[in-house]
């Protein structure tokens, strides 16, 4: 049974990060850096609960035991693991990494100081603080659409999006389940000044990803957006840690 004390415990310590998994070297599977060699740090916890989430083990404590799925790493230990790999790109993903922004900022600063390029993947509902923006991190922002099943007031936070846009270091990537989702993307991009826009089909099987991409490719080109596949799914299906 997952008690409230356990859930409180998995929020992580102030000086550490609650981590679901670290893996790599592998390839960045999504977004503007798709195909680049990368190492990954996947943080636990999320403030949303998307219907199609492919990493529920990072946050859904009704289905997964947080003691089995997560452990706290100190920032020096985590930085040490990353720096043991001679790979320039470091992807910090989740879950929602900005829920652990204090120690995350220290980690990013250390990695940037060592010459690494860091991409923090976020759902765009939490604003990065000035220190994290100035760390040199890039933000792969994935605001969720209605297809996530989340109400708009939870998945779209205008103040947070404004900070991310103003950082000049954000790219916006939307998960599509149907070509009709493109209109919702255009509406959000227009309302909040989100650019550059990338879209990506949802799916944990190669056929679903490729089929979804083929259905929207012409319209995406016409709109001047980017189209991301899910390279890790094409290569390895829904295998964890790739
Ligand atoms: S924001 Fe991301 S990690 Fe959180 S529930 Fe949605 S898809 Fe999963």
The string of pLDDT tens digits covering residues 108-137 is 999 999 999 999 999 999 999 999 999 999
Q: Which residue minimizes the CA distance to atom 8 of ligand 1?
A: 53
- Residue 13: the pLDDT is 53
Please give the number of the atom of ligand 1 that sits closest to the Cα of 150: 6
- Residue 34: the pLDDT is 97
- For 17, residues 6+ apart whose C-beta sits below 8 A from its C-beta are 41, 43, 72, 73, 75, 78, 100, 103, 104, 107
Kindly tell me if the per-residue pLDDT of 83 is higher than 70.
yes
Q: Which pLDDT band, with edges at 50, 70 and 90, does 155 fall under?
A: very high
Q: Residue 124: which region, alpha, beta or left (left: phi > 0; alpha: psi -120 to 50)?
A: left
- For 126, residues 6+ apart whose C-beta sits below 8 A from its C-beta are 47, 96, 98, 99, 101, 157, 160
- Residue 12: the pLDDT is 47
- Express as a percent the part of the chain with pLDDT over 90: 93
Q: How far is the CA of 98 from the centre of ligand 1 (A)?
A: 12
Q: Which pLDDT band, with edges at 50, 70 and 90, does 144 fall under?
A: very high
Instruction: List pLDDT tens digits, range 9-61.
Output: 444 456 799 999 999 999 999 999 999 999 999 999 999 999 999 999 999 99
- Residue 5: the pLDDT is 41
User: Can you tell me the mean pLDDT for 99-111?
Assistant: 98
- Residue 15: the pLDDT is 75
Q: For ligand 1, pick from 95, 98, 200 the residue to mutate: most ligand atoms within 8 Å of CB.
A: 95
Q: Which residue minimizes the CA distance to atom 2 of ligand 1?
A: 95
Kindly tell me if the per-residue pLDDT of 4 is higher than 80.
no
User: Can you tell me the mean pLDDT for 138-163?
Assistant: 98
Q: How far is the CA of 115 from the centre of ligand 1 (A)?
A: 29
Q: Which residue minimizes the CA distance to atom 7 of ligand 1?
A: 53
- Residue 7: the pLDDT is 44
Compute the mean pLDDT over every residue in the chain, rounded to the nearest whole number. 94
Q: Which pLDDT band, with edges at 50, 70 and 90, does 233 fall under?
A: very high
120-133 in b/e form (b: 16+ CB < 10 A) is bbbbbbbbbeeebb
Number of helices and strands in the chain (H, E): 10, 9
């Amino acid at each position: 049974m997952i008690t409230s004390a356990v859930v409180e415990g998995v929020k992580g310590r102030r000086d550490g990060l609650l981590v679901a998994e670290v893996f790599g070297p592998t390839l960045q599977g999504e977004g503007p850096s798709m195909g680049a060699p990368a190492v990954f740090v996947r943080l636990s916890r999320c403030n949303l609960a998307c219907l199609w989430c492919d990493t529920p083990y990072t946050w859904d404590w009704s289905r997964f035991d947080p003691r089995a799925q997560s452990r706290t790493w100190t920032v020096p230990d985590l930085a040490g693991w990353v720096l043991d790999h001679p790979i320039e790109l470091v992807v910090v993903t989740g879950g929602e990494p900005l829920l652990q922004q204090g120690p995350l900022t220290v980690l990013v600063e250390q990695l940037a100081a060592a010459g690494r390029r860091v991409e923090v993947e976020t759902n765009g509902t939490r604003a990065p603080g000035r220190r994290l923006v100035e760390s040199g991190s890039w933000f792969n922002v994935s605001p969720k659409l209605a297809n996530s099943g989340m109400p708009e007031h939870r998945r779209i936070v205008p103040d947070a999006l404004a900070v991310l846009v103003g950082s000049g270091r954000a790219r916006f990537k939307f998960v599509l389940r149907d070509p009709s989702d493109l209109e919702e993307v255009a509406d959000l991009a227009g309302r909040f000044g989100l650019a550059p826009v990338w879209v990506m089909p949802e799916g944990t099987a190669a056929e679903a990803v490729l089929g979804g991409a083929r259905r929207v490719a012409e319209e995406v080109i016409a709109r001047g957006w980017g189209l991301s596949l899910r390279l890790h799914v094409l290569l390895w299906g829904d295998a964890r840690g790739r």
